Structure 1
């Protein structure tokens, strides 16, 4: 498949023009004109690049790529090593950040809901068609410890659980994969029982306790493995590409 056709497929699926982002979405580093073997992963770390070289990949497709807003411009040090490896081995780098978070079926939020058996009811940011956080319901109410265990077993990752002041039963849930802890306030204001994300900040504890909402942090990486994996599986199934998902472990 030609590189331009590959990018068009991704653009049609993810529609990056729908949302303002903190980085460029799409082709970030140009490589070979022809793409047959694709490696997918959460972040374009050197470890992932090294595996792509060893496996003879023509393209790398990730959620976290390069050239972030407020990032230093000079291509030196770690950035130089990464980009040099891509250019010397003629490997394309494609990255999709928020467009992958919000996709209705393949996105990180949709995939986390599927994994945790949450029925999606709508956006947390009401009135925003491209909300990066969602709301949903569990089939049956559970206590905080039960939901923490479900998340931990599903993601194979230790979970930080901060109960609300009344430690109430959980039926309604809001979530935002990755670094979405700031949305806990909005979830609490809407009377939602629990909020799930990847990371926690110092103030998150006090918000959970004082606004009486369960909070669960299960890791930025761990909560965002499933969108890029689902996207790669779609490309293999629908377009016949050789796609391999690689999970470079990250405890954060």
Structure 2
């Protein structure tokens, strides 16, 4: 498959034009024209790039790519080494950020809902990244923490939890993958028992305590493994491309 054809296929399926994002979605670094083998991963870090070189991949497909708003524009430091790796080995780099959080089938958030057996409420729009739903079986706040740790970290890492003044039993849950901690106030105002996301800020704990909502910070990487892996599997099933998911673990 031609590299620009692949971009068109993914752009169309993820409806990228509907999102205002913090980095360009699609083909970020052009490589060889013909693509057969793709390495997928969460972040285009040097370790993932090196793995793609070892596997002689034609392309790398990630959730976190390059050229973020407000980052330095110069190609120096680790950015230089990453670019050199891609360009010297003629590897294409594709990145899809918010479209892969919000997609109703392949997205990080809908997959998290399925993982935790949450019935997702109807959404007003595909670009709405605060997901809301109901647990199939209510859990205590501590039981839900343990479930998050087991499903997302295989029990190897703990989840940051604040349950001060919050309901002891959780039924209604809101969530947003990655750095979605600032959705907590909306979730609390709408009466949810709990809110989980990837990251935490200092202010988040005060908001959780004062609103009385259970809050869980599960790790940015841990909440965003699933969309990019599933997108790769979709490309393999529907377009005959070889895709290999490589998880470069990151506890943050």
TM-score category, normalised to shorter length? over 0.9
Query: What is the aligned partner in structure 1 of residue 7 from structure 2?
Result: 7
What is the CA distance between 1:130 and its match in structure 2?
1.3
Query: What is the aligned partner in structure 2 of residue 232 from structure 1?
Result: 232
Change in Cα spacing, 1:18 to 1:166, as seen in structure 2 (3 Å) is closer
Change in Cα spacing, 1:5 to 1:216, as seen in structure 2 (3 Å) is same
Query: 1:139-150 to 2 correspondence within 5 Å?
Result: 139-150=136-147
What is the CA distance between 1:27 and its match in structure 2?
0.3
> Aligned equivalents of 1:168 and 1:111: distance in 2?
26
Query: What is the aligned partner in structure 1 of residue 68 from structure 2?
Result: 68
What is the aligned length? 249
> Aligned equivalents of 1:19 and 1:94: distance in 2?
16
SS at match of 1:122: coil
> Aligned equivalents of 1:12 and 1:55: distance in 2?
28
Q: Superposition RMSD on alpha carbons, in Å?
A: 1.0
User: Any unmatched runs of 5+ in structure 2?
Assistant: none
> Aligned equivalents of 2:105 and 2:172: distance in 1?
20
What is the CA distance between 1:69 and its match in structure 2?
0.3
What is the CA distance between 1:136 and its match in structure 2?
0.6
What is the TM-score of this pair, normalised by structure 1? Answer: 0.96
Per-residue CA deviations over 1:217-242 (Å, capped at 9, x if unaligned) read: 11000000000011011111111110
> Aligned equivalents of 1:87 and 1:81: distance in 2?
10
Is 2:187 aligned against 1:175? no
Change in Cα spacing, 1:140 to 1:112, as seen in structure 2 (3 Å) is same
User: Any unmatched runs of 5+ in structure 1?
Assistant: none
> Aligned equivalents of 1:228 and 1:115: distance in 2?
15
What is the TM-score of this pair, normalised by structure 2? Answer: 0.96
When structure 1 is superposed on structure 2, of 132-141 and 179-188 the one drifting more is: 132-141
Per-residue CA deviations over 1:54-102 (Å, capped at 9, x if unaligned) read: 0000000000000000011111111111011100000000000001000
Match of 1:131 among 128, 131, 152: 128
- The answer (yes or no) to whether the contact 1:27–1:92 under 8 Å persists in 2 is yes
Change in Cα spacing, 1:4 to 1:98, as seen in structure 2 (3 Å) is same
